[in-house]
Structure 1
Amino acid sequence: MSRPGSPESRHPDSPDRDSPEQAYQDFTRRLSYGDYLHLDELRAAHQPVTAAHDEHLFIAVHHVSEVWLGLIIRELQAAMTLLEGGVTDTPLKMLSRVVRAQEQLTNAWEVLKTMTPADYLQFRSAFGAASGFQSAGYRMVEVLLGNRNPALLRPHEHRPDLHDPLQDALRAPSVYDLTLRLLAARGLPLPRAVLERDLAQPTRLDEAVLEAWLTVYRDPEQYWDLYELAEKLLDVEDNFRRWRFNHLTTVERTIGFKTGSGGTSGAGYLRRALEVVLFPELWAVRTRL
């Protein structure tokens, strides 16, 4: 008698073990693909509010983007926990995963660009003041990377479950703050004003920090893990810039310079966001080498 789940129990009449008939057929007591991924709930969340054909595309792209943002947050937080403990090797793998997920986020704009201005206008007014500006996932990624602006958390004040974690992250070290603490732990001289700065404020270029990175970049063999970590952080910011640029160009080609649905100036606001520098010394070190 064959064991439940063994190849013999799947389809005993099929002599070909590579046949698709050998796959499991009965899921009355097994966890299926759809059950595992909760696909019924996922599809139920996809609810266009108009009959416009392209609203389906619009919702799908944003749903998928939020899932990628959730993964990025998870990987960043895990990497930061290890960095805080002085570990550098495993965080490199996690940051590499962040970079790959960022690439998927950026590619999503290419799909959305197939929507023309006329397509978008068929349903834009239907979602009112809703906007990606209110994405708690995107905001958390920004905060973890060091873009600190308390005003950007206000759209979430009505949801403590979203606002409180963002507020906590705003008051905690960013991934770059933790990296600078590693530099100091390795004996590289960093001023107390940098290591004990107001964490709710954005990072500003500091000459002493730049000198510390110059030491690392001039002797990568001695500081190899710090050197690798710096380059991986630069990969993350590079991809973050590409995402923001693709966001800007998608908005410009879809609505031009109209006001954004969330109340920002739209393209103008996004263009200014391109000026944000997360890891200033890692960019400046290239000029000074």
Structure 2
Amino acid sequence: MNHGTSALDEPVDDDLTRPFPGASPYDTYVHASVLNTLQHPLTEAPDEMGFLVTTQVMELWFTLIVHEWRTAKVAFAKDDPDAAMDALTRSRRALTALNGAWAPIAALTPAQFNGFRAAFGQASGFQSAMYRHLEFLLGDKSSGLLRAHRGDPAVHEALGETYREPSLYDEVLAHLHRQGLPVPRHVLERDVTLPYTSDPGVVDTWRHVYAGPRHHPHLALGEVLTDIAELVTRWRFEHVLVVRRAMGAKPGSAGSAGLAWLERRAARPVFPELWEVRGDV
């Protein structure tokens, strides 16, 4: 019997089998060994690991999306639409991946969810600071949800900066104004710590864009923003469906109204004038 290399074994370059002097270069860069130690299920429920990993993966996608939107904000402030569009396009791909991340837990039954739900106590997704950065960047500001993070000074201060700064959409509108489009002055000078609400003058601004040439850069901007708005809305509604399937209308953890609260949040429009203008074109 031949105990040597199997005919199915591929030859391996010696450089690939040489021992590393310490951690592998891959782990030094990616920190996979750190990431793979962060899952600590609190029960023996077989579905808890999937719930925990899914939540952690979503936090990483939030981090990337927030990074890209901040990059786009800076580019718009510098009137560099090419760099801004690149960042928005990357964020669109990240949002698509974020939406796909629901799959491992999308079909949890109430019994499966109840197998570990009590273990996470008062923890709730609305407490995610990185998701709150994402919402604030969309213009959905909330002093109350900022105040909830006061117990962690570093997190509160970082989130407070995003709260006090113009949103991504505020910077888009300021950029369009500098490009000669009729963005109303009161919108440009609004209190950016308040939630953004639809303005008829901004609908008119986008009407100028959508009534213009089919291949104008501002039209491409409107469409990538619409893509982002749609993907965010789809993520919110997918969250509603996952919760509805796993726990119905029960009260949420941490004292929220659960499904009813999520449904109200999901109904909030993202970049509202981009949807309203479509009926006018």
TM-score, normalised with respect to structure 2: 0.92
Q: Deviations over 1:208-249 (max 9, x none)?
A: 21111111111135x822211111111111000000000000
- The match for 2:149 is 156
- The match for 1:242 is 234
Q: Deviations over 1:173-218 (max 9, x none)?
A: 1111111111211222232211100101122221221111111111
Q: Which moved more, 1:131-140 or 1:157-166?
A: 157-166
CA contact (8 A) 1:89 1:225 kept: no
Please give the alpha-carbon distance, in whole angstroms, between the structure 2 residues aligned to 1:253 and 1:230. 34
CA contact (8 A) 2:170 2:188 kept: yes
CA contact (8 A) 1:72 1:98 kept: yes
- The match for 2:190 is 197
- The match for 1:169 is 162
Q: What stretches of structure 1 of length at least 5 have no aligned partner?
A: 1-17
Q: Is it true that 1:99 corresponds to 2:99 in the alignment?
A: no
CA contact (8 A) 1:55 1:123 kept: yes
Please give the alpha-carbon distance, in whole angstroms, between the structure 1 residues aligned to 2:194 and 2:82. 28
Amino acid at match of 1:101: A
- The match for 1:15 is none
CA contact (8 A) 1:148 1:200 kept: yes
Corresponding residue to 2:217 among 225, 249, 252: 225
Please give the alpha-carbon distance, in whole angstroms, between the structure 2 residues aligned to 1:107 and 1:279. 23
Please give the alpha-carbon distance, in whole angstroms, between the structure 2 residues aligned to 1:30 and 1:261. 40
Q: Is it true that 1:85 corresponds to 2:78 in the alignment?
A: yes
2:148 is paired with a residue whose SS is helix
CA separation of 1:190/1:33 partners in 2, compared to 1, >3 Å: closer, same or farther? Answer: closer
Q: Deviations over 1:136-188 (max 9, x none)?
A: 11110010111112111222111121111211111111111111111211222
Please give the alpha-carbon distance, in whole angstroms, between the structure 1 residues aligned to 2:138 and 2:15. 45
Once the 2 structures are TM-superposed, how far is the Cα of residue 75 of structure 1 from its aligned partner?
Answer: 0.7
Once the 2 structures are TM-superposed, how far is the Cα of residue 52 of structure 1 from its aligned partner?
Answer: 1.4
CA separation of 1:220/1:172 partners in 2, compared to 1, >3 Å: closer, same or farther? Answer: farther
Amino acid at match of 1:156: H
2:122 is paired with a residue whose SS is coil
Once the 2 structures are TM-superposed, how far is the Cα of residue 130 of structure 1 from its aligned partner?
Answer: 0.4
CA contact (8 A) 2:165 2:192 kept: yes
CA contact (8 A) 1:99 1:235 kept: yes
Q: Deviations over 1:69-94 (max 9, x none)?
A: 11111111011101110011122121
Corresponding residue to 2:40 among 22, 41, 47: 47
Please give the alpha-carbon distance, in whole angstroms, between the structure 2 residues aligned to 1:45 and 1:155. 24
Q: Is it true that 1:273 corresponds to 2:227 in the alignment?
A: no
Please give the alpha-carbon distance, in whole angstroms, between the structure 1 residues aligned to 2:23 and 2:114. 45
Amino acid at match of 1:128: G
CA contact (8 A) 1:244 1:270 kept: yes
- The match for 1:145 is 138
- The match for 1:7 is none
Q: Percent identical across equivalent pairs?
A: 38
- The match for 2:7 is none
Counting only pairs closer than 5 Å after superposition, residues 11-26 of structure 1 correspond to structure 2 as 19-25=11-17, 26=19
Q: Which moved more, 1:233-242 or 1:32-41?
A: 32-41
- The match for 1:123 is 116
CA-based RMSD of the aligned residues comes to 1.6
Please give the alpha-carbon distance, in whole angstroms, between the structure 2 residues aligned to 1:102 and 1:262. 27
1:44 is paired with a residue whose SS is coil
Please give the alpha-carbon distance, in whole angstroms, between the structure 1 residues aligned to 2:48 and 2:15. 37
Corresponding residue to 1:34 among 27, 35, 60: 27
